[in-house]
Copies of this chain bind each other. A is one copy, B any other.
Amino acid sequence: MHKDPISKLIFELSKLPGIGEKTATRLTYFILKQDAEYSKSLAQALLDAKSKIYFCSRCYTFTDQDPCRICANHERDASLLCIVERPADVFSIEQSGTYRGFYHVLHGALSPLDGIGPEELKIRELLERIRKNGELIREIILATNPSVEGEATSLYLIRLLKPLGLKLTQLAHGLPVGGFIEYTDRQTLGRAITHRVEIHS
């Protein structure tokens, strides 16, 4: 079906999210214009990423060493545990530079219609982890996505974790930095008003 190498590369690239045939074509011609060095190192990076990366046995994020760099870092705050849906969320929160605790990756959110129940997520592993390190953990931050599935997962976890007597928190909702009130959806604006923060001068 895809006889020639150019069509094949366009076809493979267009499987990536947000990359249609037109962008894939543009990327392919860009790659063909570069030195062979670039396509080689991109190909190698692809193979390495997939073959050398597995899940951390503690927090279940992607890692090339076990425990991962975050779990192995003794300077981090062991009293904080942040629960996220995806490894990409760990990356995003790390990039924000505002969190120094540990993580636990659920690998999804509850979605009964898609057949994803508590058993499909790393919830058993989370409880096991809290049981083992209970005396260290003081606060659990529920950082699931502000979507229907994410909020359902948070509610499920709140019910599960509340009896353990730990402090439970969730990420603040509100206006995006650099955003406009005019273009903010009603729900977000409503939460930003409800959870308004006092200005200390």
Please give the residue numbers on chain A whose beta carbons come within 8 Å of chain B beta carbons, in ascending order.
4-6, 8-9, 11-13, 15-19, 23, 25-32, 36, 38-53, 62-64, 69, 86-88, 91
Contact = CB atoms under 8 A, between A and B. Distances in A.
A5 B45 contact: yes
A6 B51 CA distance: 11
Contact of A42 (B5, B41, B46, B64): B46
Given A8-B45, A49-B6, A26 B64 contact: no
A116 to B, nearest CB: 14
A60 to B, nearest CB: 13
The 8 residue pairs across chains A and B that have the minimum distance between CB atoms: A43-B43, A39-B50, A29-B88, A9-B49, A9-B45, A5-B48, A12-B45, A43-B46
Contact of A49 (B31, B44, B45): B31
Contacts of A8: 45, 48-49
A27 B17 contact: yes
A51 to B, nearest CB: 7
A6 B53 contact: yes
Contacts of A18: 23, 26
Nearest to A68: B4
Given A4-B64, A6-B62, A28 B49 contact: yes
